[in-house]
Chain A
Amino acid sequence: MKTLYLLIPFAPLAGAIIAGLFGRAIGRAGAHWVTIAGVLVSLLASLMVLRDVMDGNTFNGPLYTWLTLGEGANVTKLEVGFLIDRLSALMMVVVTFVSLMVHIYTIGYMAEDPGYQRFFSYISLFTFSMLMLVMSNNFLQLFFGWEAVGLVSYLLIGFWFKRPTAIYANLKAFLVNRVGDFGFILGIALVLAHFGTLDYAQVFSQAPAMAGQTIELFNGAPWMLLTVICIGLFIGAMGKSAQFPLHVWLPDSMEGPTPISALIHAATMVTAGIFMVTRMSPLFELSDAALSFVLVIGAITAFFMALIAVIQYDIKRVVAYSTLSQLGYMTMALGASAYSAAMFHLMTHAFFKAVLFLGAGSVIIAMHHEQDMRKMGGLRRYLPITYAVVLIGALANAGFPPFAGFFSKDTIIEALHASQRAGSGIAYAAALAGVFVGALYSFRLVFFAFHGKERFASGGHGDHGHGAQASDAGHDDHAHGAHGGAPHESPAVVTAPLVLLAIPSIAAGWLIGTVVYGNYFGDAVFVAPAHEWIEEMGREFHGVLPMMLHGLTSLPFWLAVAGLATAWYFYILRPELPAVVRAKLSAPVSILENKYGFDTFNQWFFASGAVALGTKLWKIGDVALIDGMMVNGSARLVGWFAGVIRWLQSGYIYHYAFSMIIGVFVLLTLFGMVLAR
């Protein structure tokens, strides 16, 4: 079995290495075959592992010792190893499945790109890193995977490294993530300092005994140790899972090619934070304060990011903000101790958001790399398959039964309702409001792009809209010579993965009885007896069909319908209205267009501030004070002193004799004083 575990991450790694180092030798087809084979092997192995863990088998063991630390009896072994349980097995299947679909899709999407082999190498490397993160049995390897996926994300956002916007976005993404990692590593360091180990199982078993421990961060103000640890770890999650206020990198990451937006920035990497907190549930459960913090951060993200999605014109950015909002839902679920609901939403979201992104990508190909929805419209006649899958994705995203998103989102909302933790009230309100907004932006996208009047000029898209929305609209502009003709449906290599992902976007929700209410996770997730709100809800769960029927009479459903209706009214019935509303509400719209001013503030305060401070420290501290006064100053002092000495060495005997007499006199006086003591 261990060989099988090894195969899962290392098959994609092998593919990545071959495609990366020998890309020229094996050619384009060679590169995609070798990486697809690697990921396929990985998926099949993951499915076998899933079946195995469903039978109750788990594994927790080391691969090799990375480092031993400490002295004498207090030796800490830091190991690289695997923990295979129901939580990791589920993630492994989701990651490898979406990755495989994206690999296949990429054959079509990147067909004309000169960096074809490099791209396949990167996405396979990503798959490896993500799997190492997910399969880890300790904090150290988790951090390895955590940073490795960050690296690949950096490389992929900046894949088209000639574009200034892309290399700005990837640097920004890396640095913002590093801010999160800063908190994360402090959390890990606290764990090591107080638990003496980084092994999950050992840490978790000691955790209850640690619940009463405090540390004094500030004099006289003791903090609960576990609260500090959990908040540190969660700051890491806020970076990776793009939670407010570290969300700023995710929209810009759309500069990367669309397949990675789907794989990394929607389905898998950005959910690493959700997975991590779920994995750490034995720690988080012991700190209500940390979970309340999680709850509030999630609520802010879920609602406010959804609002921005409503006013975006770039089709990818709509989906990006929708991702932020959905990640907020998952985070809220974590905060309400509804880990299984969060993981379930993670899974359904992985499918339907991949569909939306890859569907958007298919539109972008058809539109010859136009991403501005104002230049689309009426596409459903030209792109029937894409239209169908995007519609499914939108329905799932908006939470309509029987689509997957309904089950997961509804469970989260119910859990927030049931939760008695401080902050649940706000979160519940944010979640409900988010449903309306979610349905609105989802169907705005569908209606705006696929229905209504055709706003593209068939036969060549002259200006590409560069001027109008220069700051907002990123364009996938790889070499694409011939424009022209009406939009046409993408080739099978693009649509097949779409269809394969659309199926679970509908059906994955039906697994709710197993995953959420069936105690699927078992021991992998810990919920304190006082927080078993999901279990209470489970008592009222009587199957998928009754849940749907019940859903039809509940508030979230009607909010979603209202959102859909609003979108329909504005974009189908009265398509001239949005412009009017935009003009009337120019103040709030401009707040949204500026994304609440975070980018401006960060640029001004952190980026320019650090540069200004660095310049000051350099020019004043190093150049003026240390070098100017001390170093060169002492050189000048020596020079001056030498000048004085030179003057003393006059060459006249009587000068020397005179100074000698004075010297003798002084010495004798001193000598006398010493003796007198």
Chain B
Amino acid sequence: MTHHVPWLSLAIWLPIVAGVVVLASGSEKNAREARVIAFIGALAGFLVTLPLFAEFDIGTSAMQFVEDAPWIERYNIRYHLGVDGIAMPFLLLNSFITVLVVLAGWDVIQSRVSQYMASFLIMSGLMNGVFASLDALLFYVFFEATLIPMYIVIGVWGGPNRVYAAVKFFLYTLLGSLLMLVAFLYLYNKAGGSFDILDFHRLPLGMGAQTALFVAFLLSFAVKVPMWPVHTWLPDAHVEAPTGGSAVLAAIMLKLGAYGFVRFSLPILPDASHALSGFMITLSLIAVVYIGLVALVQTDMKKLIAYSSISHMGFVTLGFFIFNAYGVEGALVQMISHGFISAAMFLCVGVMYDRMHSRMIADYGGVANTMPKFAAFMMLFAMANCGLPATSGFVGEFMVIMGAMKFNFWIAFLSATTLIFGAAYTLWMYKRVIFGEVANAEVAALKDINAREFVILGLLAAMVLWIGLHPAPLTDIMHASVNDLLKHVAQSKL
């Protein structure tokens, strides 16, 4: 299926070009122009993803909006793009969040504005590239390239300990993904000189090879998700990152790893996936329970939300490795939903941080007295974070628990503890920060959210409620592709 308009290329390159323009325009003097250009670029980047949604054919599991051109002919590396029902929603999510992040940094970022905005635009394009790549090497290039802007965002606009956090983030994720490259090279040879991901899907592989490849992929994707026990870079990265960085990191970048599992590990290595599913499920459940408890005792709001993210991502990996439609689709919905909710939670902390310059729970108390509108928004997002029905947070968790019950009672039992843990850490934080008497003079001086912040949080709230109240349109997109994926996973390659 070919299209006249290369929407996927636009989704990738339009933000990147806009980012380069912003960068070129930039000096400290014309920050305003940089913001405006960045906003126009981000908005245009979002608008070009809308046709992907509007013209998507939900009846097929085939790749759509395919673009295919030789890139490095000598090695048969191709510029091969396409999306199915699994990948497409993430391009929209990513481009949507980018618009919000540009808005969120509007008045807050005062130094090196153009560089800041450019980083996010370029990162957005690169991440779209990850989701749209059908060539493994192209995927690898995009996957690794996203590290650079995020490294810069944390390292330049981050908090006091930003260098440690940035280096930890970079090394952790880079080391993981080097093994992925080795795996790709192996598959390239096996496939007779092709990096085509769809060729990989059809490739027969022995159990030994599958297991080795699984471990290689696992290391790179598990770090990114992040799964326990390779998660400790995330709290540090979030704490030091500026608000926008945290939002993108949680909303999109973590999804790259999870996406890797569905695009590579499950369909290419079905036998190894089945053989190691017990291990994967165990790690996922540790993420839900262990991390849930760790989140409870955090004193830093961003760290708490970071741990909460890990716990929620545990649901994603759990859903993938129970191999039924409920679980896999639930995991995908959870990824999308977590994109909105975690971004919203980090932006909420950002709203308070901009005013008080503290992330510590103990410095707050009684914010509802001075910021009632904000308190209402944060209530909604907090409830979504604990998976209240009618918010998007419920949908994915519910589907995964349902899927887990089909698989095994005790797995469902342990995963359902998130109902308690999630509510405990989220609402306890909410109580200490938002409720109560005005805690100090700084809280007393707080001003409620302005129009810009209202728009950002309002858009996120609308998305959270929309998916919660009517998730069918979203899952309808996924059905065909998920069923096809499950067919692949069910077929042994031995």
Contact = CB atoms under 8 A, between A and B. Distances in A.
B437 to A, nearest CB: 5
Contact of B479 (A68, A215, A217): A68
Interface in A60-80: 64-72
A179 B420 contact: yes
Interface string A138-163: 00000110011001001100100110
Contacts of A186: 401, 405, 409, 412-413, 416
A622 B232 contact: yes
B471 A614 contact: no
A615 B299 CA distance: 11
Contact of B388 (A147, A192, A215): A147
Contacts of B290: 617, 621
B368 A69 contact: no
Interface stretch (B69-77, B427-435, B449-457): B427-435
15 contacts: A66-B471, A69-B326, A147-B390, A148-B390, A154-B427, A171-B428, A171-B431, A190-B405, A193-B402, A193-B406, A610-B424, A611-B296, A621-B229, A626-B229, A631-B172
Nearest to A622: B232
Contact of A161 (B168, B399, B405, B435): B435
A182 interface: yes
A107 B297 CA distance: 42
Interface in A341-382: none
Nearest to B326: A69
A185 B471 contact: no
B44 interface: no
A175 B420 contact: yes
- Interface residues of B: mostly helix, strand, loop or mixed? helix
B294 A167 contact: no
A215 B409 CA distance: 9
A189 B402 contact: yes
B293 A162 contact: no
Interface residues of A, number: 49
A488 interface: no
B25 interface: no
A174 interface: yes
A171 B427 CA distance: 7
Nearest to A132: B390
B232 A151 contact: no
Contacts of B435: 158, 161-162, 167
A155 B375 CA distance: 12
Residue of A66, A67, A167, A215 ringed by the most chain B CB atoms within 10 A: A67
B293 A614 contact: yes
B294 A164 contact: no
Contact of A67 (B231, B296, B419, B472): B472
Interface in A161-195: 161-162, 164, 167, 171, 174-175, 178-179, 181-182, 185-186, 189-190, 192-193
A217 B413 CA distance: 11
Contacts of B388: 147-148, 151
A589 B399 CA distance: 48
Given A68-B472, A68-B476, A182 B419 contact: yes
A69 B428 contact: no
B436 A167 contact: yes
Contacts of B419: 178, 181-182, 185
B325 interface: yes
Nearest to B424: A175
A618 interface: yes
A147 B389 contact: yes
Interface string B373-416: 00000010001001011100011001101101110011011001
A211 to B, nearest CB: 19
Contacts of A70: 325-326
Interface in B347-385: 366, 368-369, 379, 383
A112 interface: no
